[in-house]
Amino acid sequence: MHAHRWRLDGHVALITGGSWGIGLATARELMALGAQVLLVARDGDRLAEVVIELSDEFPDVDCATFAADLSRSEERAALFDWVDDRCQGLSLLINNAGTNSPQLAPDYDEAEWRAIMELNLAVPFELCRAAYPLLKQHAQSAIVNVGSVSGLTHVRTGAAYGMSKAALHQLTRNLACEWAKDGIRVNSVAPWYIRTRRTSPVLSDADYYDEVVARTPSGRIGEPEEVAAAIAFLCLPAANYITGECIAVDGGFLHFGF
């Protein structure tokens, strides 16, 4: 048994959107596997609560937080200055932060759809580029981008969200090929409906909820921990020959025909 292949001891993971939902579940998953985590989100007060929770759960693993609006280039620069100042390196990057405003395509004003593209696509691209010098210094680095089934097929999330996630999946493939020589693996996950704060308003509509479940072979909504498990697997040394891939965490949704 090569137990180390299923552990992340010695790794440092930067997780965006780390204060709630999939990001927080991913922090727990990676810390349970031995990784130190650096959580980034806009709400500093919430991050302070999270670091207390996680430190209580995992007293032997380091957890640190940084409050930033990642859509601002100066705050991204400050984030990586902070990472550098910690002198612990970086081996894992989880691009989880995102946003949406579902509308019909003609109804968006330009600022609305550009804001979606900025946070869902431009920010992960810039974070990957900023992290690259650090990631290539580690023997087993990995990036996991949190995409969506909406980047692979039509769902009712609006064109702007769908095209941002489709582009994020393509970025995953491009960087996987470009950076393989540097020992950096790049993969993505594509969740369907997951039970989070963001999805709770739409899923509170009983008719819509029933329709979603009816289109999901597993017959239920997914949990953040199930996405986190897929992300963690893609970070593990055991997944060292997997790059450029997208794992759908969707209860079979993408494969369900008529």
Radius of gyration (Cα) for the chain, nearest Å? 18
| Number of alpha carbons in the 13 Å side-chain half-sphere of residue 166 | 13
Q: Which of 87, 51, 56 is nearest to 67 (CA)?
A: 51
DSSP character at residue 155: -
d(CA 42, CA 117): 18
Q: Which residue is catalytic, options 132, 161, 208, 209?
A: 161
Cβ neighbours around 106 below 10 Å, total: 6
DSSP H helical segments within the chain, as ranges? 21-32, 44-57, 73-86, 110-117, 123-135, 159-179, 200-203, 206-214, 224-235
3-state secondary structure of 191: strand
Q: Please confirm, yes or no, whether 161 is among the known catalytic residues.
A: yes
Instruction: Tally the residues of the chain.
Output: 258
d(CA 94, CA 244): 15
The full 3-state SS of 40-88, as one line of letters, equals EECCHHHHHHHHHHHHHHCCCCCEEEEECCCCCHHHHHHHHHHHHHHCC
Active site residues: 161
